[in-house]
Amino acid sequence: MQQYSAGKMPDGQEVAGFLLTNALGMQARLIEYGATLTHLLVPDRSGKLVDVVLGFSSLKGYLGDQPYIGATVGRFANRIANARFLIDNQEVRVTNNEGPHILHGGKVGFDKKVWKGELKATALGSAVRFTCESADGEEGFPGNLQVAVTYTLTFDGAIAIQYEVSTDAPTVVNLTNHSYFNLHGRGPVTGQMLQMFASQFTPGRADGIPTGEILEVDGPFDFRSPKAIGRDLTDAALQNRKGYDHNFVVDGEPGTLRPAAKAWSLQSGILMDTLTTAPCMQLYTGNWLNQSGEKRGGIVEEYQAFCLETQFAPDSPNQPAFDSPVIRPGKPFQSETRYAFSVMD
């Protein structure tokens, strides 16, 4: 474990970075800005370390125009329609930042906060615990929040992410990590394989807002058997979002840590198992990526990374059929997601 300077904010505030390692050779780097995972190095089948997440080589890249790369997203990940919802029959209006809707917490979400990080030695492995406060009324959301996100690089090869939130007033919370994965480092991910343990999904409109239905997966939305990520990208059902940008309902009981997805690269031999306690997971295939300044150089283009964002369903505060993201005083929110890495035979 090591702490270092990741740079300074424009106002001069120091931002710390943290390096975690394990005996398998894995390395994870995280910074206080956005409680962001910047590097995740994993051995491939030849023993060579591959950085499987997009990121930037300096703080400056994260401060620029970029799509939440590696960040902790909140207060509410994904979208809330028309930037409004009801809690206890009281209307709440929040900051719209994607047309009339709110996306990933508003104009200044958790991804733009400087959190306080602290290294920890745990029974599972070395860890960084990030904490922040979110004031009542921030981006329009009610309640003063105390938030903690702990990243642990486990002895057995996982990056485990634990979320804890308490509030002094009824509010909604939906936290996720927005890492962009590429299991052979760079290049198209369309040939990488994906299986999802999700028998249902929530179809959406062209603007990403769900219709409110929960449907059985079929056609391009059926990943119950493994298939290449790009196999159905040109299907007509995906064209209103240019590919996958859809919410899937994870099989099993929400609140229990259970398999959500399995992805692997035949090129590198790296296998990633995703487990979560969250009710849902968003598959995003980087449909609008056109990112310069990435740490390996060049431009990262569309379909060169994918996200598996564990979450409550988009617009769940307005959708009675979906699991509720409402939390209340005295009943803290807790969630866990693990991305576990191994090498295929």
Average the pLDDT over 220-234 and give the result: 97
156 pLDDT more than 90: yes
Average the pLDDT over 181-206 and give the result: 97
Average the pLDDT over 65-94 and give the result: 97
278 pLDDT more than 90: yes
Is 178 a residue of the active site? yes
Q: How far apart are CA 113 and CA 68, in angstroms?
A: 12
The per-residue pLDDT for 75 is 97
Max Cα–Cα distance, the chain, nearest Å: 58
Q: Report which of 246, 240, 232, 245 is spatially closest to residue 190, judged by C-alpha positions.
A: 232
Q: How far apart are CA 158 and CA 172, in angstroms?
A: 28
144 pLDDT more than 90: yes
Residues linked to residue 275 through DSSP beta bridges, in sequence order: 259, 338
Task: For residue 260, give every residue at least 6 positions away whose Cβ sits within 8 Å of its Cβ, in sequence order, or none.
Answer: 196, 197, 198, 250, 274, 275, 276, 278, 281, 308, 310
Average the pLDDT over 213-242 and give the result: 97
Q: How far apart are CA 143 and CA 214, in angstroms?
A: 30
Q: Report which of 27, 29, 26, 28 is spatially closest to residue 15, judged by C-alpha positions.
A: 29
SS (H, E, C) the chain: CEEEEEEECCCCCEEEEEEEECCCCCEEEEECECCEEEEEEEECCCCCEEECECCCCCHHHHHCCCCCCCCEECCECCEEHHHEEEECCEEEECCCCECCEEECCCCCCHHHCECEEEEEECCCEEEEEEEEEECCCHHHCCCCEEEEEEEEEECCCEEEEEEEEEECCCEECECEECCCECCCCCCCCCCCEEEECCCEEECECCCCCECCCCEECCHHHCCCCCEECCCCCCCHHHHHHCCCEEEEECCCCCCCCEEEEEEECCCCCEEEEEEECCCEEEEECCCCCEEECCCCCCEEECCCCEEEEEECCCCHHHCCCCCCCEEECCECEEEEEEEEEEECC
Is 309 a residue of the active site? yes
Cis peptide before 75 (omega within 30 of 0): yes
**Could you read off the pLDDT of 299-309 as tens digits, one per residue?**
999 999 999 99
pTM for this entry: 0.97
Which single residue is written with the structure tokens 């505060």?
A: 317
The per-residue pLDDT for 145 is 98
Average the pLDDT over 170-195 and give the result: 98
Task: For residue 310, give every residue at least 6 positions away whose Cβ sits within 8 Å of its Cβ, in sequence order, or none.
Answer: 176, 177, 250, 260, 274, 276, 278, 280, 281, 335, 337
The per-residue pLDDT for 150 is 98
124 pLDDT more than 90: yes
The domain tally of the chain equals 1
Q: Report which of 142, 322, 145, 338 is spatially closest to residue 256, judged by C-alpha positions.
A: 338
The per-residue pLDDT for 200 is 98
pLDDT band at 316 (very low <50, low <70, confident <90, very high): very high
User: Which residue in 32, 138, 294, 309 is the catalytic one?
Assistant: 309
67 with 34: CB under 8 angstroms?
no
**Could you read off the pLDDT of 259-270 as tens digits, one per residue?**
999 999 999 999
Q: How far apart are CA 129 and CA 344, in angstroms?
A: 31
Q: How far apart are CA 325 and CA 150, in angstroms?
A: 20
99 pLDDT more than 90: yes
User: Which residue in 178, 246, 294, 336 is the catalytic one?
Assistant: 178
Q: Which structural domain, as residue segments, surrounds residue 23?
A: 2-343
The per-residue pLDDT for 130 is 98
Task: For residue 9, give every residue at least 6 positions away whose Cβ sits within 8 Å of its Cβ, in sequence order, or none.
Answer: 15, 33, 59, 63, 114
CATH code of the domain in which 29 resides:
2.70.98.10
pLDDT band at 11 (very low <50, low <70, confident <90, very high): very high
The per-residue pLDDT for 345 is 78
